[in-house]
Amino acid sequence: MTEAATARKIRVVVAKPGLDGHDRGAKIIARALRDAGMEVIYTGLHQTPAQIAETVIQEDADAVGLSILSGAHMTLVPRVVELLAEQGVDDVLVTVGGTIPAEDIPELKKLGVAEVFTPGAGTEEIVEFIRAGARERHERDGQHP
Amino acid sequence: MAAEPRQKPELIEREAEFSTISGHPIEPLYTAADAPADPAATIGDPGEYPFTRGPYPSMYRGRLWTMRQFAGFGTVEETNERFHYLLDQGQTGLSTAFDMPTLMGYDSDHPRSLGEVGREGVAVDSLDDMEALFAGIPLGGVTTSMTINAPAAIALAFYVLVGERQGVSAEKLGGTIQTDILKEYIAQKEWCFPIEPAMRLVTDMIEWCSEQMPRWHPISISGYHIREAGSTAQQELAFTLKDGFTYVEAALERGLDVDDFAPRLSFFFNAHVDFFEEIAKYRAARRIWAREMRDTYGAKREESMRLRFHAQTAGVSLTAQQPLNNVVRTSLEALAAVLGGTQSLHTNSFDEALALPTEDAVRVALRTQQIIALESGVTNTADPLGGSWFVERLTDEMESAAYAYFARIEELGGMVEAIRQNFPQREIADASFAYQQELNERRRIVVGVNDLVQSDEGETPILRIDPGLEQKQLDRLQATRARRNPAAVESALTELRRAAASEENLMPSILVAARALATEGEMIAAMQEVFGTYAESPVF
């Protein structure tokens, strides 16, 4: 399951934007990604969109997973995407997890969110999605075979 | 406890995990050999030490549990309407959910509050808001629960002053404020200050309430959030009780008499879906608390040893898939809480894995309790499960698991030190991950999620919070700021900073500031200037 030693390790930021403290999901995902051989940077709780964008850029992440259970996703997710775009970052895979009503998902995807994982999503499904997306990014970069 | 190894007959068994949801193994059969050696000492009768069978002799024949649905969203006006609705539907106590900015000590107009105002609870910035929240509800005639921790002293001050404005004095107010800051650092993660000053504030509240508010519970020592963060039942039990002992020790160090404050300590447990494990958890909690309060902390009054608790069904057990099935889960969980002897109960609504509940969903949740209370017959006798070989054995095992954790926490230097070392946090994260693995591998089944999946699910109507409500709250806050006396606010905040830097009880200064219409955010910021803030180094 782990990445071949020759390939660059997939780097993922798992982030908790907003004020809610529900970190069970974020921690499970962070651990599942780490166990799958990825480099995981977990931001911890109560992060502002600016702090998250900065972490993604500093860590040169392939993907960022935003975990939100506070109902503030329609305010916070667009802000993260905007801040990344403002700094010229348009190739990071942005995913969202949490209690996101079905009718908000198309709008989030229109903003550039690659996938939204709602309660009950399996960790394997999430790991595979991030792996595939990050591989594509690596290939586009042309840095890695 | 089991006298001799029993002869097991040849059993034909299904391919399945025969363990509780926490992973605790369950035997194929329990018999008289599992009965406690000295039932009079370890079980007793309901209402008698060690209260294993319940805190009161007549239990629900005397008085049903309080049906207390947690509610809060939008501004105080929307939530006030929901309160009136719930009271009209036969609810017997109120329970307030505050929004995230309020829980974290930010005013609604703070930049960090953007998008969060009124989303997961109601926004309360000042005394004006608290007054509007309880408009038309005489505080002398209800009991109110407020789920707030880091800024609990401020919310309590607001509530006391609303009572004052209504002509109800503090000594007549009944209810509970959560205040349990240790479980915030462990699990719920809504904090304002470092651990020591936060513990001082808790102790200030316990002290102040023991003098001023004889009908009030200044703290609700909570396992609920520990469990929701992914702990096992055993961890929930152990960490919660250990938190409780830590508060008792802090109050004793303050010089309080245990029998003056212990009767007002209350508890809050999760009611998860593993029926018997939960019942055993509540029974073990009562027994351990009674013994430790008497033998370790020197309590003399029975009220000091009698653990009473509120229960809430497990939010984490609800599924977004086939949400109507959640009515069944919630019924089982509520029944476990009742058979475990709860004093008050919140039942979750079936749509809560999707959003805050609609009014229709809340009504079904409340009716679930009413059906248990009025139709099922389980209230006819006190502790109908007492003496069940299985239940008593499981209760003993719960108790042993809790004491094993107490010993590990003591080795680390007590609960505060254990939290600093991330011990409970890591135990919970490990348990939560292990459970997820079991789901992934389908060693444990959640109907509709990893088995019995239905592809053509219909839409469930959900509650949408009007984004305009955020602006409405900002307008309310601005109006309050505009009508107050800035000099009075400034001098009250200066006084609060001074008191924070001293060793005196902070409640009087907080009351003065609240009366001057200082906002919650202003008071928290003033105290943070003295106390500092908190950041965790997360483990996963």
User: Mind listing the pLDDT tens digit for each residue in B222-250?
Assistant: 999 999 999 999 999 999 999 999 999 99
- According to the model, what pLDDT value does residue B41 have? 92
Nearest-by-Cβ selection for A23 from B106, B119, B189: B189
Show the tokens assigned to B186: 């462990």
* Interface test mutation site (partner B, options A20, A67, A107, max chain B beta carbons within 10 A): A20
* C-alpha distance from residue B346 to each of B60, B119, B384 (Å): 17, 20, 22
Report the chain A residue with the minimal C-alpha distance to residue B447.
A120
Q: What letter does residue A109 receive in the DSSP assignment? A: H
Q: 3-class SS at B369?
A: helix
Return the H-helix or E-strand segment holding B390: helix B389-411
Domains along the sequence of chain A with CATH: 11-135 (3.40.50.280)
Render pLDDT for B74-97 as a digit per residue (tens, 0 to 9). 899 999 999 999 899 888 789 999
Write the CA distances from B519 to B122, B132, B524, integer angstroms.
15, 15, 9
Q: Classify A39 as helix, strand or coil.
A: strand
The answer to whether residues B491 and B521 touch, using CB atoms and an 8 Å cutoff, is no
Q: How confident is the model at residue B11 (pLDDT cuts 50, 70, 90)?
A: confident
Q: Residues B289-340: pLDDT tens digits?
A: 999 999 999 999 999 999 999 999 999 999 999 999 999 999 999 999 999 9
B103–A27 C-beta distance less than 8 A: no
Largest CA distance in chain A: 42
Contacts with B106 from chain A: Cβ below 8 Å: 19
User: Which of B99, B436, B464 is the best mutation test for A, with the most CBs of A within 10 A?
Assistant: B436
| Mean pLDDT (whole number) for B479-496 | 98
Indicate the residue type of B438. E
Q: In what order do the strands lie in the sheet with B70-71?
A: B70-71, B94-97, B143-147, B174-177, B216-217
Over residues B146-158, the pLDDT tens digits come to 999 999 999 999 9
pLDDT at B17: 85
Low-confidence residues of chain A, pLDDT below 50? 1-5, 145
The Cα–Cα gap between B54 and B380 comes to: 14
Instruction: Quickly state the pLDDT bin for B4 (edges 50, 70, 90).
Output: low
> Number of C-alpha atoms within 13 angstroms, CB side, residue B262?
25
DSSP states along B95-162 = EEEBPHHHHHT--TTSGGGTTTTTTSSB---SHHHHHHHTTT--TTS-EEEEE--TTHHHHHHHHHHH
Is B148 within 8 Å of B184 (Cβ atoms)? no
Q: B15: pLDDT confidence band, cut at 50, 70 and 90?
A: confident
Q: Which two tokens stand for residue B244?
A: 């409780």
Q: How far apart are the first and last CA of chain A?
A: 18
- Residue in A12, A16, A19 to test binding to B, most B beta-carbons within 10 Å: A19
> What pLDDT is stored for residue A8 in this prediction?
83
Residue of A nearest to B225 (CA): A22
Å between B514 CA and nearest CA of chain A: 24
B14: left (phi over 0), alpha (psi -120 to 50) or beta: beta
Short-list B321, B526, B298, B432, CA closest to A25: B432
CB pairs under 8 A between A and B: 106
Amino acid code (one letter) for B225: H
Domain-wise residue ranges, chain B: 32-47+61-440
Test B120 with A120 for CB contact under 8 angstroms. Answer: no
Mark yes or no for CB contact B536/A124 under 8 Å. no
The β-bridge relationship of strands B143-147 and B265-271 is unpaired
Given this model, what pLDDT does residue A143 score? 58
Largest CA distance in chain B: 82
pLDDT of residue A1: 45
For the segment B274-302, the average pLDDT, to the nearest whole number, is 98
pLDDT given for residue B3 in this prediction: 56
- Which among A95, A93, A96, A97 has a CA at the least distance from the CA of A138? A93
C-alpha to C-alpha distance for B375 and A91, rounded to whole angstroms: 59
Q: What class, spelled out in words, does domain B32-47+61-440 have in CATH?
A: alpha beta
ipTM score assigned to the predicted complex: 0.87
Predicted TM-score (pTM) of the model is 0.94
pLDDT class of B190 with cuts at 50, 70, 90 = very high
B417 pLDDT higher than 80: yes
Spatial distance between the Cα atoms of B404 and B398, rounded to a whole number of angstroms: 10
Question: What pLDDT is attached to residue A5?
Answer: 47
